[in-house]
Structure 1
């Protein structure tokens, strides 16, 4: 028998054994125990390729898998939708398993409790637990191979879970059929067109799916769906933890706002442990833009306001606005724009000099005024990825006052407004990325989940204008 035939036979046998261990083969026919995690929102620290995305780990299929990038540590996290009792976790590892990992749980407060510390295996591993939580995370601290961390399925089971969620595809009745001949482990590929993965349909409604919690409208409230964070400039570095993670000095110069710890090695964990200049202080997110120069002198924003808005979609869809997941990375603008045209999202104007008008490039502001810029971030999310290979494909702008079917989850529209104490002839002005039309912004979400959800409930969904404290 050839090596390839042996490989396929072993995969098929492993799929059969995995199905037997997870779903059982004895007992009367009936509803199989469906994992709480199946088809739920899922996120990961990374994905090796587009066709090895985290959603494959919770799709109920044993011939699709998630695989991370080739570095330590890595993590996979599933959102059960609400706090649920949890009794068992089943991991169907691929051969590139984690030799050391922990299972963590959170109820959404941002605090993680470690349930188990274990070593993975080449096969199906069952962990008995007794706890409750909304978010369950596999945190792999060490890979067993040179490849990424890879698994076929990550399943979380609750007490007496037998009802199939809606919609949920039935598990494949015969995993012994020929598996998809995906090479394992896979080497990096230069294929520019990865196979797209199907969206996590059960938790990403494309149309209103019942009322979400909505706060009251206080007497005299201004009816604008908005809350804000004022986040002054913190520091300047040639780093970009989204586009060039782990490469200090690898980027053009950036001006950072909000979290004071941001650098090339920043991740969600480091942000949550950091401190912030924001009002409110609970916003530990990081925001950054290319540094503005007047000649060779850097000019930093004198103020930086980040508006979170419920606009751009129909009112009934805005009422379905959901929170950003922690760790979501969003990029707006085009650092590679070559002209002040449709490829640029920049907008420059003058504070208190509306007659000057707005432009995609720098404008001449009268004496006594300030140069200002604002940038709107995309606010339709695909419901499954915290980032994407180009750092943009997981997000989209609305079209026709609705989010596209490919990006069905409405999240708050982030608007960045920066003001600079500079005016006059702009001929010496430049950004570290180039002319004014290359203006772009980055957002790394580290809001505490409860604080962000409160603001969306009390400000965005009921259309109430709120201040930094999240009240009218």
Structure 2
């Protein structure tokens, strides 16, 4: 009897030990990589938030460039509506959807980014209107381009709607923001009102992704941002017209990590994925000749190339093998507006064909804010502008606004630093001596993002997905006749 009891006790002890080992194995199991790198689950914040200052010195060759705007809702001068409404009878681009063919030069594993699943589009949560956005008078009809036919290799894609109407619905949402902004212990992280150009996370040994970014401090509830002038309000003086080149939202999934402007001939020269609209052939090896011969997703034979770093949903396990840490599901813009605006001080002149331009600084987190141009906001709150990722209320969408320089030196289509040949206007809107005003390109990108601080830009690894690194690139490949029409619309105060 005693022997049986001892045997039973020994068996019970062995069972307890085995159970403990199983529990320990479950507890120590590693979480999915993307979820593990979700900033919402990591309250660690940057220990040194160094806001960029408006008076910051700039490199000698970039003396005219404006520094990054602060997070106080002080936007640049002028602008247009978030989605410029059009009259089907007058809008030269209202007859058909943009062309987003799947078959193009440069298609392949590198362009389609097989490691990242594209977001097919999330249900529309509504897009509150900014009631203060100004309406611009006048519209014009399209020019005829008999000498610039559309590329025969550029078929229509009736499945994609281009910028369908004005997404700005009346009213301002007052519900909870898309992100709770709470830290891991349940306490709400205090949003800050200054950008964080210098990454310095406080990592722990238990956090494999503590140094990957972004961090909770990189996000801000848009309702806590100091209001200022309306970022998307129209110009009140000078050449007040606008022209929108309707190019789609990259429905054909033209993506690659190249940048033929900054790193020509270098595959993966950007170390982050770009979204492209317009020219179908753009990659690391693009030339003036290849761009001019390619098809386009834009109407009116605009073969220009427009591109920017993608935004990703960090809650989704995708692209996990990326060596640069750009993980998550690519978010396709709900709307992409390529708008050309005027100059507050006077008329604009035609920009030369094959002019190359960049805006922002992809390495602003380590370079400082001299060339940073990040501007983030939410629909319904466009009088509040920040250099952080905005947390928008329910029913409001995230908006990226990327303004390009518009004072050209009159001679060069590029420069060694890709900046000095075309610079930003001064505070009053006038161009520096020795330059002339050309149409200013403004990209307005609108997204439906996951709730909470769980989305991020693709970026160079050392930039830690800091939102101040937002940037974009452009090369003008419009036919000369179309560029003349654009300038005419702008100088006559029309909306085309």
TM bucket (normalised to shorter chain) is 0.3 to 0.5
**What TM-score do the two structures reach when normalised by structure 1?**
0.48
Higher share of residues assigned strand: 1
* Structure with larger RCO (C-alpha < 8 A, sep 6+): 2
